[in-house]
Amino acid sequence: MVSFDFTGKIVLITGATGALGRVVARQFHQAGATLALCAREEVLLNQLFADLALDPQHLLVGEIDLRQPEDCDRLARTVEDRFGRLDALVNTVGGFTAGPPVHETPIEDWQRMLDMNLRTAFLVSRAVAPLLIRSGGGAMVHVSGRAGLAGFGGGAGYCAAKAGVIRLTESLSAELKDYGINVNCVLPGTIDTPSNRAARPDADFSRWVSPEALGEVMLFLCSPVARAIHGAAIPVYGLG
């Protein structure tokens, strides 16, 4: 892994129980960060990070649904009450469900993709940005996707949501860069996760991007080395 030093930095990672979030959390931990991890399933969060749950240096916050504004506000308050500041937000929450063509798509399915991918990014950004400002600067990284650049059949809601994350990132960057806050997003191709392997068992997994490789890019974007990068949407496709 590329070497980064986040000693003394407070990093909030959302979706910490997900296939990407759990890897990214461990990478930031190895880099010395003090972690605030959140997820919807408190029991699973504490199981996956039992060592951190017992370490008073870190904070685990369960029962957080980023689709709910009150949960996002509670998360930001909890982090500030515990640490007094925040240096980086790494938002890994999102998801994909294939669907029928647009003319056969239930409104509920369309809305689910927007809520899961775009609403969550908006609400957690809205809640955390004031804390980053009060902290004197920092970084914010969201996960968009290759689908945010070009649509495909059966994925209209997902593609629209991921495109929205890119525009949200650009707007946040324009609003926050003068406060010393870098806002960027990554555009993964297919991530090599157990669920993706199960869905596409005949694919060449070696061409997919690993969670570890994607996490290294997110570490970079939160580091001082990326201080001049604002509002970028960075492709991380692996060999795909």
Q: How far is CA 102 from CA 71, 112, 153, 159, 162, in A?
A: 31, 14, 8, 12, 16
If you write DSSP's letter for every residue of 54-89 in order, what string do you get? Answer: T-TTSEEE-S--TTSHHHHHHHHHHHHHHHS--SEE
User: 228, 148 in Cβ contact below 8 A?
Assistant: no
CA nearest neighbour of 167 among 148, 192, 190: 148
Helix, strand, coil content of the chain in percent (nearest 5): 50, 15, 35
Catalytic (active-site) positions: 158
| Tokens matching residue 202 | 């005949």
